[in-house]
A = this chain, B = another copy of it.
Amino acid sequence: MAAAESLFSQLVPVQAKCQGCEERRINVRVNIELQSTTNPIHRKDLVVRLTDDSDPFFLYNLVISEEDFQSLKLQQSLLVDFSAFPQRFIDLLQHCIQEQNKDIPRFLLHLVSSGPNLDHTPAFLNVVETNPFKHLTHLSLKFLPGNDAEIKKFLATCLKCIKEEKLLLEQKLRKTDEDLTRQLNYAQQ
């Protein structure tokens, strides 16, 4: 048995940096899910996915298990446990969204790749607060770029969703047209 609970799916402004290329601002869709498996053992994974609505090949994945979280907690001096972590992460993302239109945003997301472009190397997503004294990194998460098979699977899911949305729109258009035409005929009699 596996179940996925969607916790967050929003566009978040990100400063993207990679080696030798100019820093640029992109809107990244951050998707956070809690995946539970009960068989063979009970386990929970926090799954974070970064995508770009305008670039179908942009895909970064991060899976944090409860064990992974213990090292992350130690390494980054976190004071919350695994169950409280997702909401704290979402709070930080919300700060970044709220600050996005300010001249000097206090909270900013950085996506930093060590490679020459954002495609084929791991990238760090850093939540950075800028105060008058310094840049303060609240969290730094390492994402892996999706491979062809993962991107293929992701695109198939997108295609399925958008096909359903399109079908609903077609039905709504037909219904709107019929309803209003009927009312119009009636009113014109």
Q: How many copies does the complex hold?
A: 2
Chain B residues whose CB sits within 8 angstroms of the CB of A156 once the complex forms: 56-57, 155
Residues of A in contact, count (CB < 8 Å): 28
Secondary structure of the A side of the interface? helix
Contact, CB under 8 Å: B188 / A152: no
1/0 per position for A67-104, CB-CB distance to B under 8 A? 00000000000000000000000000000000000000
Chain B residues whose CB sits within 8 angstroms of the CB of A136 once the complex forms: none
Which residue in chain B gives the minimum CB-CB distance to A187? B187
The interface-forming segment of A3-11, A22-30, A116-124, A173-181 is A173-181
Which residue in chain B gives the minimum CB-CB distance to A162? B162
Chain B residues whose CB sits within 8 angstroms of the CB of A181 once the complex forms: 180
Give A166 to B169 CA distance when docked, in angstroms.
8
Chain B residues whose CB sits within 8 angstroms of the CB of A187 once the complex forms: 184, 187-188
Chain B residues whose CB sits within 8 angstroms of the CB of A188 once the complex forms: 187
A189 → chain B closest CB, angstroms: 9
A110 → chain B closest CB, angstroms: 27
Asked whether A66 is an interface residue with its Cβ less than 8 Å from the other chain, the reply is no
Q: 12 A-B residue contacts at CB 8 Å?
A: A155-B156, A155-B159, A158-B159, A159-B159, A162-B166, A166-B166, A169-B170, A172-B173, A176-B176, A177-B180, A184-B187, A187-B188
Residues of A within 8 A of B (CB): 56-57, 147-149, 151-152, 155-156, 158-160, 162-163, 165-166, 169-170, 172-173, 176-177, 180-181, 183-184, 187-188
**Can you list the 10 inter-chain pairs with the closest CB atoms, starting with the nearest?**
A180-B180, A148-B148, A56-B156, A155-B155, A187-B187, A152-B152, A169-B169, A148-B149, A173-B173, A151-B152
